[in-house]
């Protein structure tokens, strides 16, 4: 069991390459498993250590991950203001409290999740659609907002429902958010990076709310961490509330991954690739307990590593060469993941992201790329 | 919270978790049982049973065989990872499940004792 924990934790360093998805990594590593290797412990340790290490490319290299997705935007904004170190501290401190709250709320979720599953399932799609409509209606420049939301939704539908690219989220989110940010920052005069951020005071209520959101999202399919964060972003319009949004995002990611394992045991539905990978073992309670303990160990150990080595990154000062390097890296990674189709997705999404920036519409509208495909799934609509 | 406090708490909880995992691993050691000693109370437990292979079945999505001593229990191999032959004496470690009123074992590992 400890070999699996160490192996999963070490494999989590691949989070530094945000475009590598957990599902892909599990398939790569599986042939090397010896007989009797616990898939559940390995998958959970990998998932959680990778989630922590993904914070580094998300903040410092403006590269989105499947976990953090839309959290890229506020962390990107802070990084370009010279507060990248501050953004990283918010994320890792929030993840710490999120794991503590997740563990403490496990008995409550165990008792209430099956009931919540039967109650929410019939009306979830309608509730989500209503939240989306109300959020859009509250935005300024309604016509342009709806146009951008719909266009990004269309791109998302094509990219996420058709087998064009192995890891579609990476070129999609990089194009919509990463490349435009690099473009607009290229000629801007950026402040010097702040190496010290002081003590961070985390909003515990926000973290707890994020934990509950992530915990009960298991009652519904298609609610990935990236989707939940994009809903938060749409509702709270967090361009001015970066800290709150990052706290909530970190909490949602940690609790969603944590309770995906518990949800499978309780309601028999695998909500993530890691859980599906280890589903056979997770139907036995001691194995589930081992997976959850391994998850906690991997997360806390990874947080310790990041908190020690994060100072090495705090002095990163983005310049023209940095931006060009990141753009080249994203392009190469998109090509590796999907060939010409990956580059086409990147180019299309970049064009849309740039247009959004030029028009001056709030970037949260681009969340349509995740929200519309999920709503179509809920209502059983297949446009393509 | 200061970074040094975060580091201290993370290390503390990680060590606590390792201790918890250690004690859990002791309880997860398979219980050696005889085939005729298996009962409904063993459902969900990880057991180690020994016996002789009979009635090997190889399907498209799973393999199975009957493991017999004084009685027989079906051994399910969903990974299609184990290759056994009728007449072999094997030790099977796996979790006990109930299916259609019958006990069966989902094999985690199979060791050939004599072939």
DSSP symbols for A103-164:
HHTHHHHHHHHHHHHHHHTTTHHHHHHHHHHHHHHTSSSHHHHHHHHHHHHHHHHHHHHSTT
Distance between CA A268 and CA A288 in Å, rounded?
13
Tens of pLDDT, residue by residue over A112-146, are 877 777 777 777 778 778 877 877 787 778 888 89
In our burial notation (b when 16+ CB lie closer than 10 A, e otherwise), range B41-72 reads ebeebbbbbbbbbeebeeeeeebbbbbeeeeb
Question: Which of A98, A200, A284 should one mutate to test binding to chain B, selecting the residue with the greatest count of B CBs within 10 A?
Answer: A284
The pTM score is: 0.75
Q: Which of B1, B22, B108 sits opposite A93 (nearest CB)?
A: B1
Between A331 and A280, the higher pLDDT residue: A331
**Could you tell me if residue A384 is inside a domain?**
no
**Could you tell me if residue A333 is inside a domain?**
yes
**Residues in a beta bridge with A127:** none
B11 contacts on A by Cβ (under 8 Å): 300, 304
**A161 — alpha (psi -120 to 50), left (phi > 0) or beta?**
alpha
φ, ψ of residue A90 in degrees (nearest 5)? -60, -45
Q: What percent of chain B has pLDDT over 70?
A: 98
Query: What kind and span of H or E run contains A244?
Result: helix A242-267
Contact call for B1 and A308, based on CB within 8 A: no
**Residues in a beta bridge with B72:** B68
User: To 10 degrees, the CA torsion angle through A333, A339, A342, A344?
Assistant: 130
Of A94-103, A226-235, B38-47, least confident by mean pLDDT is A226-235
Cα B52 → chain centroid: 17
Reported as a pLDDT band with limits 50, 70 and 90, residue A66 is low
Tens of pLDDT, residue by residue over B6-23, are 889 999 999 999 999 888
**Could you tell me if residue A7 is inside a domain?**
yes
Reported ipTM: 0.74
Query: Which of A51-60, A157-166, A193-202 has the highest mean predicted lDDT (pLDDT)?
Result: A51-60
**Could you tell me if residue A307 is inside a domain?**
yes
Give, rounded to a whole angstrom, the gap between the first and last alpha carbons of chain A: 45
Q: Which domain holds residue A133?
A: 2-379
Of A200-214, A220-234, A254-268, least confident by mean pLDDT is A220-234
Contact call for A36 and B6, based on CB within 8 A: no
List the one residue out of A158, A155, A193, A177 whose CA is nearest residue A71. Answer: A177
Q: Which residue of B has its CA nearest to A35?
A: B109
Distance between CA B112 and CA B90 in Å, rounded?
4
The whole-angstrom distance between A63's CA and the closest CA on chain B is 25
Reported as a pLDDT band with limits 50, 70 and 90, residue A10 is very high
A96 contacts on B by Cβ (under 8 Å): 6, 9-10
Distance between CA A363 and CA A189 in Å, rounded?
21
The domain total for chain A is 1
The reported pLDDT for the residue numbered A346 is 92
Between B43 and A197, the higher pLDDT residue: B43
- Would you state the structure tokens that stand for residue A139, as one six-digit string? 């935005």
Contact call for A296 and B25, based on CB within 8 A: no
A92 contacts on B by Cβ (under 8 Å): 6
The number of C-beta contacts closer than 8 angstroms across A and B is 75
Q: Which of B10, B28, B108 sits opposite A300 (nearest CB)?
A: B10
**Residues in a beta bridge with B75:** B65, B105
List the one residue out of A63, A66, A60 whose CA is nearest residue A79. Answer: A60
Distance between CA A285 and CA A277 in Å, rounded?
16
Of A360-374, B3-17, B66-80, least confident by mean pLDDT is A360-374
Q: Which of residues 59-98 of A touch B (CB under 8 A)?
A: 89, 92-93, 96
- Would you state the structure tokens that stand for residue B114, as one six-digit string? 């004599």
Classify strands B72-77 and B63-68 as parallel, antiparallel or unpaired.
antiparallel
- pLDDT of B75 above 80: yes
**Other C-beta atoms lying within 10 Å of the C-beta of residue A114:** 14
In the 8-state DSSP scheme, what is residue A162? S
């Amino acid at each position: 069991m400890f070999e699996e924990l160490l192996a999963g934790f070490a494999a989590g360093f691949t989070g530094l390459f945000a475009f590598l998805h957990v599902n892909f990594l599990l398939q790569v590593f599986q042939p090397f498993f010896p007989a009797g290797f616990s898939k559940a412990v390995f998958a959970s340790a990998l998932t959680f250590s990778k989630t922590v290490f993904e914070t580094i490319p998300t903040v410092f290299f403006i590269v989105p991950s499947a976990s953090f997705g839309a959290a890229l935007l506020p962390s990107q904004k802070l990084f370009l203001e010279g507060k990248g170190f501050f953004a990283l501290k918010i994320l890792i401190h929030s993840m710490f409290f999120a794991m503590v709250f997740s563990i403490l709320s496990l008995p409550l979720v165990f008792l209430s999740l099956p009931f919540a599953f039967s109650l929410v399932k019939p009306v979830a799609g309608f509730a989500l659609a209503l939240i989306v409509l109300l959020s859009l209606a509250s935005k300024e420049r309604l016509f342009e907002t709806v146009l951008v939301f719909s266009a990004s939704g269309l791109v998302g539908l094509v990219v996420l429902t058709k087998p064009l690219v192995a890891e579609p989220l990476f070129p999609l989110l990089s194009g919509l958010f990463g490349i435009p940010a690099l473009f607009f920052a290229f000629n801007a005069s950026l402040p010097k990076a702040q190496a010290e951020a002081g003590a961070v005071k985390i909003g515990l209520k926000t973290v707890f709310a994020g934990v509950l959101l992530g915990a009960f999202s298991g009652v519904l399919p298609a609610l990935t961490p990236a989707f939940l964060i994009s809903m938060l972003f749409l509702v709270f319009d967090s361009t001015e509330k970066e800290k709150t949004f990052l706290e909530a995002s970190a909490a949602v990611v940690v609790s969603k991954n944590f309770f995906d394992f518990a949800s499978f045991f309780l309601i028999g539905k695998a909500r993530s690739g890691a859980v599906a990978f280890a589903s056979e073992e997770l139907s036995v309670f001691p194995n589930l307990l081992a997976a959850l303990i391994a998850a906690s160990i991997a997360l806390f150990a990874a947080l310790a590593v990041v908190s020690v080595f994060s100072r090495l990154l705090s002095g990163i000062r983005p310049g023209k060469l940095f931006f060009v390097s990141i753009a080249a890296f994203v392009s190469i990674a998109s090509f590796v993941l999907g060939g010409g189709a990956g580059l086409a997705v990147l180019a299309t999404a970049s064009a849309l992201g740039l247009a959004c920036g030029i028009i001056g519409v709030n970037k949260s509208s681009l969340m349509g790329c995740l929200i519309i495909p999920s709503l179509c799934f809920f209502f059983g609509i297949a446009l393509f | 919270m200061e970074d040094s406090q975060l580091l201290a708490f993370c290390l503390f909880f990680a060590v606590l978790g390792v201790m918890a995992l250690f004690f859990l691993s002791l309880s997860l050691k398979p219980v050696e049982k005889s085939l005729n000693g298996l009962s409904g109370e063993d459902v969900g437990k990880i057991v180690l049973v020994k016996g002789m292979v009979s009635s090997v079945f190889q399907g498209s999505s799973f393999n199975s065989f009957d493991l017999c001593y004084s009685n027989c229990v079906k051994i399910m191999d969903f990974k299609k990872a184990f290759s056994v032959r009728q007449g072999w004496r094997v030790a099977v470690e796996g979790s006990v499940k109930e299916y259609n009123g019958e006990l069966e074992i989902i094999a985690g590992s199979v060791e050939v004792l004599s072939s």
